[in-house]
């Protein structure tokens, strides 16, 4: 769909899907994330990033197989705006979670047993990776919109 | 310096300076911000945004008085990159503070006396306004870089 080198775009999408899935699973399975607003926000946003990235990865594969089938300028604008919104939201979610994890580590141990805290930290790190890749996609698509 | 309508750019810069100063003062004067990493980060970033915005506001006024004196393409690229980095950092700082404030409100009252919590909330809100204006400046400058 977008005209960046297809493999770069596809790798970015796959990376986003992998990192956001990891963040979602680490945060939501077997951990009490629902006690903290920031963690709920992180889970929600990662739940939005996963279908977005998977859909666009499939579009990328499709347009690699059938070149020039999906090149519509309006689509690129929509994808660029969506990427930018999702990258802002995922940065906000990852930062909020990082702030909360740091505070929980500095409070007494009752709020954050070591097993849970490690999961929270790992999930937040994965969310930052997902943000970085989403921001890269967003900049690539913005460049396309500007040049096209 | 930048070629957006000068008054829009100047208003954005003044707004950034005002909101980031408000966030910095509300967070740092008479409140124990140094106990929390997220609040220290917020104070640091707001302390970076203030001189940046004030300097660029002065450049804007200077280039309104002496037109065509400071139009160098390299300068616009540096300003666009600086704006983007500062907008990412201020969003991260504001989100981390918001997460921490929310957590403090839900913990018992010992961590956050009502007087302090109100200040934290207000400061975080101001930081979000400062982020919004910095992001707007950043997009305007990116458009200039793309079109120039």
Domain ranges of chain A: 6-147
Give residue B1's pLDDT: 46
Instruction: Nearest chain A residue to B144 by CA: give it.
Output: A146
Give residue A2's pLDDT: 46
Which tokens sit at B83? 């704006």
Question: Are B96 and A93 inside 8 Å of each other by CB?
Answer: no
pLDDT, tens digit, 9 for 90 and up, residues A37-66: 899 999 999 999 999 999 999 988 888 888
Query: Using CA atoms, how far apart are residues A103 and B36, in angstroms rounded to an integer?
Result: 7
pLDDT, tens digit, 9 for 90 and up, residues B45-63: 999 999 999 999 998 888 8
Query: Using CA atoms, how far apart are residues A129 and A20, in angstroms rounded to an integer?
Result: 8
Instruction: Nearest chain A residue to B100 by CA: give it.
Output: A100
**Of B91, B92, B12, nearest in space to B52 by CA:** B12
First to last CA, chain B: 13
Alpha-carbon distance A65 to nearest alpha carbon in chain B (angstroms): 31
> Beta-carbon neighbour count of residue B112 at 10 Å?
18
Percent of chain A with pLDDT over 70: 92
First to last CA, chain A: 13
pLDDT, tens digit, 9 for 90 and up, residues A127-148: 999 999 999 999 888 888 877 6
Which tokens sit at B70? 């400071």
* DSSP element (H, E) containing A106: helix A73-106
Res. A108: pLDDT tops 60: yes
Q: From chain A, pick out residues whose CB is under 8 angstroms from the CB of B37.
A: 99, 102-103, 106
Predicted ipTM?
0.87
**Of B139, B50, B32, B141, nearest in space to B90 by CA:** B50
A109 vs A24, which has greater pLDDT? A24
Q: Is B144 on the interface with A (CB under 8 A)?
A: no
User: What is the arithmetic mean of pLDDT over B70-74?
Assistant: 72
Res. B27: pLDDT tops 50: yes
Dihedral pair phi/psi, residue B111, rounded to 5°: -80, -20
Query: Using CA atoms, how far apart are residues B75 and B57, in angstroms rounded to an integer?
Result: 14
For the whole model, what pTM was predicted? 0.89
Instruction: Nearest chain B residue to A146 by CA: give it.
Output: B146
Question: Are B91 and A92 inside 8 Å of each other by CB?
Answer: yes
Least CB-CB distance to B99: which of A91, A99, A147? A99
User: What is the arithmetic mean of pLDDT over B16-38?
Assistant: 88
Question: Are B143 and A143 inside 8 Å of each other by CB?
Answer: no
């Amino acid at each position: 769909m977008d005209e960046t080198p297809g493999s770069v775009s596809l790798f970015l999408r796959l990376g986003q899907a992998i990192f956001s899935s990891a963040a979602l699973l680490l945060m939501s399975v077997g951990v009490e994330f629902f006690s903290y607003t920031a963690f709920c926000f992180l889970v929600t946003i990662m739940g939005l990033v996963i279908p977005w990235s998977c859909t666009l990865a499939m579009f990328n594969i499709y347009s690699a197989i059938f070149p020039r089938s999906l090149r519509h300028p309006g689509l690129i604008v929509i994808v660029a705006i969506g990427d930018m919104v999702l990258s802002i939201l995922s940065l906000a979610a990852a930062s909020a979670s990082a702030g909360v994890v740091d505070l929980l580590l500095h409070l007494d141990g009752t709020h954050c047993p070591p097993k849970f805290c490690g999961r929270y930290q790992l999930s937040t790190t994965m969310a930052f990776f997902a943000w970085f890749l989403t921001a890269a996609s967003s900049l690539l698509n913005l460049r396309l919109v500007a040049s096209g």
